[in-house]
């Protein structure tokens, strides 16, 4: 079969969140686009990541709510989980969203969509089975895949990753989760709530050393859900079959379960792309780029999303696409290195963070940092819903500048967006206090935390003296 010779404005490798956003934006601006994807359109987020995991978490949350209905005066119910129907729910969610990311939609936008593997054969050329593509600009958006640690015996033992765990034929009786990051915590808790006996093993600390008081809330919840959390324990060996797996720890303990889920992080997809032939510098973390996401060694090439070696977040990939469009298309300077990129772990309670932690801020700014913290226990909506675990912590710098925030609790991912809006628009903590929050909402906690910044001044001796003086004036 002869190869088509294509010359276009932009060639995108990868149809995940970042690649699709680049392709859609460029095509709608009138640029010619070739979009490559050898696997499923929509990438990891739609097919094996964010979407299926949140659908699974929703199912697990329902089981948990039924088992704890008595807190609302309703008799507890022990739900019967039908794994095939849960899988059907997950698949249905994916199918509903899929048309937005489909080949047909992007061809309708004017993109040439090629469903095959492509690799660079030179600094300005990409080739695949049916095409040779030359472009003014190339965007590498190949994402990341589940990392597999070099633990003795792991390669010879059947194991799951987030890419395969949703396709299991049955719900295991017991599960070892190797890795206590966001993926491990989310999936470990969900499977425990669905009825699995879960052991979660983390070589260091849960959720990677985030704010410890927030992590403690998540740890407590995992324990209540029956998850055996093992921290500071390095796995040194794995053995097993399709029916039983054993993980040996450095301290001599051996943990056994029916199945093993490896969730130790994500590795950028940089292999078999011909990057060397295109003189594109890269490491195992991804393509080496500058702050605008442009390759440091080939000016025709950009990288977005997980493969850019920065934040491995779907919303970061979408943001990266906008950075590319602003820089490469409109010639307007834009940076991918911002201080207001939020991140959320969708466990229960949710754990959301943006900007600097308290420790990071104090290390950088010292005594100029003020920290306020308000518990959900003091939030009326949280009390009404019997979901009072967690808090909102604001980290504020000189002049009321918001440096960061951590929110742990029901709906934390929604509440953190108010802080993100303020930070993105360089609004100080006063802007949040000026907002009128509807009552009763969980989001009020952000305003209360912002108001707490002014409490020492508002009720100080000096203010009291002023009030006394004004009283004398009648």
> Mind listing the pLDDT tens digit for each residue in 201-256?
999 999 997 999 999 999 999 999 999 999 999 999 999 999 999 999 999 999 99
Q: Determine if residue 90 is labeled as part of a ligand binding site.
A: no
Q: Determine if residue 14 is labeled as part of a ligand binding site.
A: no
Give the pLDDT confidence score for residue 152 in this predicted structure: 98
- Where is the domain boundary, 275, 294, 329? 329
- Residue 449 in any domain: the answer is yes
- Residue 465 in any domain: the answer is no
Based on the fold, state whether residues 110 and 215 are members of the same structural domain. Answer: no
Q: Determine if residue 265 is labeled as part of a ligand binding site.
A: yes
pTM exceeding 0.75 = yes
- Compute the average pLDDT of residues 137-162: 97
User: Structural domain tally of the chain?
Assistant: 3
Q: Determine if residue 180 is labeled as part of a ligand binding site.
A: yes
pLDDT bucket at 467, cuts 50 / 70 / 90: confident
- Residue 84 in any domain: the answer is no
Based on the fold, state whether residues 173 and 315 are members of the same structural domain. Answer: no
Based on the fold, state whether residues 286 and 257 are members of the same structural domain. Answer: no
User: 269-292: per-residue pLDDT in tens?
Assistant: 999 999 999 999 999 999 999 999
User: 346-395: per-residue pLDDT in tens?
Assistant: 999 999 999 999 999 999 999 999 999 999 999 999 999 999 999 999 99
Based on the fold, state whether residues 188 and 306 are members of the same structural domain. Answer: no
The crossing angle, in degrees rounded to 10, of helices 314-324 and 17-28 is 30
Based on the fold, state whether residues 172 and 302 are members of the same structural domain. Answer: no
Based on the fold, state whether residues 293 and 395 are members of the same structural domain. Answer: no
Based on the fold, state whether residues 324 and 361 are members of the same structural domain. Answer: no
Give the pLDDT confidence score for residue 472 in this predicted structure: 87
- Residue 89 in any domain: the answer is no
Domain housing 357 = 343-458
Based on the fold, state whether residues 178 and 261 are members of the same structural domain. Answer: yes
- Where is the domain boundary, 265, 291, 319? 265
Q: Determine if residue 186 is labeled as part of a ligand binding site.
A: yes
Task: Please state, in angstroms and rounded to a whole number, the distance separating the CA atoms of residues 328 and 320.
Answer: 12
- Residue 132 in any domain: the answer is yes
Question: In percent, how much of the chain has pLDDT > 70?
Answer: 100
- Residue 257 in any domain: the answer is yes
pLDDT bucket at 44, cuts 50 / 70 / 90: very high
Q: Is the confidence at residue 1, as pLDDT, over 70?
A: no
User: 292-305: per-residue pLDDT in tens?
Assistant: 999 999 999 999 99
Based on the fold, state whether residues 124 and 192 are members of the same structural domain. Answer: no
Q: What is the CATH number of the domain that holds 35?
A: 3.50.50.60
Give the pLDDT confidence score for residue 435 in this predicted structure: 96
Question: In percent, how much of the chain has pLDDT > 90?
Answer: 94
Based on the fold, state whether residues 284 and 406 are members of the same structural domain. Answer: no
Q: Average pLDDT over the chain, rounded to whole?
A: 96
Provide the CA 403 distance to its chain's centre, in angstroms.
Answer: 20
Q: What is the CATH number of the domain that holds 453?
A: 3.30.390.30
Based on the fold, state whether residues 180 and 223 are members of the same structural domain. Answer: yes
Q: Determine if residue 181 is labeled as part of a ligand binding site.
A: yes
- Where is the domain boundary, 283, 302, 329? 329
Q: Determine if residue 202 is labeled as part of a ligand binding site.
A: yes
User: 323-353: per-residue pLDDT in tens?
Assistant: 999 999 999 999 999 999 999 999 999 999 9
- Residue 157 in any domain: the answer is no
Q: Determine if residue 183 is labeled as part of a ligand binding site.
A: yes
Give the pLDDT confidence score for residue 264 in this predicted structure: 97
- Residue 106 in any domain: the answer is yes
- Compute the average pLDDT of residues 10-23: 98
Based on the fold, state whether residues 10 and 138 are members of the same structural domain. Answer: yes
User: 421-458: per-residue pLDDT in tens?
Assistant: 999 999 999 999 999 999 999 999 999 999 999 998 87
């Amino acid at each position: 079969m002869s190869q088509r010779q294509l010359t276009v404005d932009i060639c995108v490798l990868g149809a995940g969140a970042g690649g699709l956003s680049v392709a859609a934006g460029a095509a709608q601006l009138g640029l010619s686009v070739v979009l490559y994807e050898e696997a499923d359109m929509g990438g990891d987020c739609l097919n094996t990541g964010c979407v299926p995991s949140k659908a699974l978490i929703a199912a697990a949350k329902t089981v948990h709510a039924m088992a704890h209905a008595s807190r609302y005066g309703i008799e507890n119910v022990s739900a019967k989980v039908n794994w095939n129907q849960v899988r059907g729910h997950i698949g249905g969610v994916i199918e509903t969203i899929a048309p937005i990311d489909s080949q047909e939609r992007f061809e309708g936008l004017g993109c040439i969509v090629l469903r095959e593997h492509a690799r660079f054969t030179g600094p300005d050329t990409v080739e695949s089975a049916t095409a040779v593509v030359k472009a003014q600009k190339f965007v590498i958006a190949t994402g990341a895949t589940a990392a597999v640690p070099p633990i003795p015996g792991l390669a010879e033992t059947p194991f799951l990753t987030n890419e395969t765990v949703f396709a299991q034929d049955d719900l295991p009786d017991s599960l070892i989760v190797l890795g206590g990051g966001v993926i491990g915590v989310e999936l470990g808790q969900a499977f425990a709530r669905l009825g699995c006996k879960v052991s979660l093993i983390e070589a260091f600390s849960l959720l990677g050393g985030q704010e410890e008081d927030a992590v403690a809330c998540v740890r407590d919840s995992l324990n209540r859900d029956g998850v055996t959390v093992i921290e500071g324990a390095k796995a040194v060996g794995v053995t097993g079959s399709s029916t039983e797996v054993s993980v040996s720890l450095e301290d001599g303990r051996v943990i056994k379960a029916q199945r093993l889920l490896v969730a130790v992080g994500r590795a950028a997809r940089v292999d078999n792309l011909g990057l060397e032939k295109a003189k594109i510098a890269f490491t195992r973390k991804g393509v080496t780029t500058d702050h605008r996401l442009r390759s440091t060694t080939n000016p025709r090439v950009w990288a977005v999303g997980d493969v850019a070696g920065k934040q491995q977040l779907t919303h970061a990939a979408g943001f990266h696409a906008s950075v590319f469009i602003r820089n490469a298309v409109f010639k307007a300077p834009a940076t991918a290195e911002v201080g207001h990129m939020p991140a959320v772990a969708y466990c229960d309670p949710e754990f959301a963070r943006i900007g600097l932690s308290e420790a990071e801020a104090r290390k950088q700014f010292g005594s100029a940092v003020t920290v306020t913290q308000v518990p959900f226990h003091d939030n009326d909506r949280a009390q009404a819903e019997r979901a009072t675990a967690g808090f909102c912590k604001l980290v504020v710098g000189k002049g009321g500048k918001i440096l960061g925030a951590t929110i742990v609790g029901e709906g934390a991912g929604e509440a953190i967006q108010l802080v993100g809006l303020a930070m993105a628009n360089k609004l100080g903590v006063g802007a949040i206090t000026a907002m009128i929050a509807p009552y009763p909402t969980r989001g009020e906690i952000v305003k209360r935390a912002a108001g707490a910044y002014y409490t020492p001044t508002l009720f100080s001796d000096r203010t009291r003296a002023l009030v006394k003086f004004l009283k004398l004036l009648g």
